[in-house]
């Protein structure tokens, strides 16, 4: 049995609903995790998603900011929403589903971007990001007996040298500073998570999932970063068949600055 999980920072789900529908019709992942939905739960556009066969929807939204949602063709259960850092932001959602004889806990994260200045003494947003990542270190891939785990989302950190267009030039830029990259690496190591994208496409291959809106021609500059991630517990990692990064989505009409990433498993 096969199944696929996709992650995509959509940067306003209502604004980019035609892109979501196109993606689901064309690539048909079993589960899609969205970040930065930017709407309250009662405003989430569930109807067109259900019409496409994605009848199982869990949301954690807030007005105008942040927000995560998980939509699925597979029945999902026990949605859990955690308030990381206790500030009331909608940045985490997890659900349970069953596939191929396995019960899987799927975490959907939107880690704070952290502002522009990598110094928490003058930039509270950066301090919030570091505290959020520190709290994530408590999340373990094998926390629940008999339950496998997947963690996806816009983690807003490009942890490896080849996850950015220029390692040297971005060392002092938020998303690739040593304190952030070391923090995210610790989350992965402490939690026994496997980086599925790098399992499928090892370094030194460059991997990007985000390109700034500020670039006049992003395809020519190609100054990308890998901010979006898919991790899993070790038992699921052995069943990974491939990972697809839909670079072409960055050129769609009125695109998000992030592109979808899909992991395919064969159980």
Q: Is the pLDDT of residue 225 over 90?
A: yes
CATH for the stretch 2-266: 3.60.10.10
Strand 210-211 and strand 2-9: the pairing is unpaired
Reported as a pLDDT band with limits 50, 70 and 90, residue 215 is confident
Sequence-separated (6 or more) residues with CB below 8 Å from residue 217 = none
pLDDT for 39-65, tens place per residue?
999 999 999 999 999 999 999 999 999
Closest CA to 58 of 19, 84, 38, 32: 32
pLDDT value, residue 171: 98
d(CA 138, CA 169): 31
Residue 14 pLDDT more than 90? Answer: yes
| Average pLDDT taken over every residue of the chain | 97
**Domain boundaries defined on the chain:** 2-266
Task: Evaluate if pTM is beyond 0.75.
Answer: yes
* pLDDT tens string 162-188: 999 999 999 999 999 999 999 999 999
């Amino acid at each position: 049995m096969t199944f696929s999980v996709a992650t995509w920072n959509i940067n306003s789900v209502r604004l980019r609903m035609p892109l979501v529908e196109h993606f689901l019709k064309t690539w048909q992942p079993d589960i899609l995790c969205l970040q930065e939905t930017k709407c309250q739960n009662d405003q989430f556009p569930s109807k067109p998603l259900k019409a496409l066969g994605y009848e199982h929807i869990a949301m954690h939204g807030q007005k105008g900011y942040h927000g995560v949602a998980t939509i699925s063709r597979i029945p999902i259960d026990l949605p859990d929403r955690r308030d990381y850092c206790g500030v009331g932001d909608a940045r985490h959602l997890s659900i349970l589903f069953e596939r191929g004889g396995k019960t899987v806990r799927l975490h959907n994260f939107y880690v704070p971007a952290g502002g522009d200045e990598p110094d928490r003494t003058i930039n509270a947003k950066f301090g919030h990001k570091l505290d959020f990542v520190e709290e994530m270190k408590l999340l373990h891939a094998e926390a629940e007996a008999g339950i496998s785990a997947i963690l996806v989302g816009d983690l807003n950190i490009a942890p490896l040298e080849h996850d950015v267009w220029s390692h040297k030039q971005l060392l002092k830029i938020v998303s690739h500073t040593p304190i952030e990259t070391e923090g995210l690496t610790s989350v992965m190591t402490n939690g026994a998570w496997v980086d599925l994208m790098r399992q499928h496409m090892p370094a030194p291959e460059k991997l990007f999932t985000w390109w700034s809106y500020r670039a006049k021609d992003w395809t020519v500059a190609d100054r990308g970063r890998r901010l979006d991630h898919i991790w899993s517990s070790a038992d699921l990692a052995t069943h990974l068949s491939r990972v697809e990064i839909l670079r072409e989505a960055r050129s769609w009409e009125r695109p998000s600055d992030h592109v979808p990433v899909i992991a395919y498993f064969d159980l």
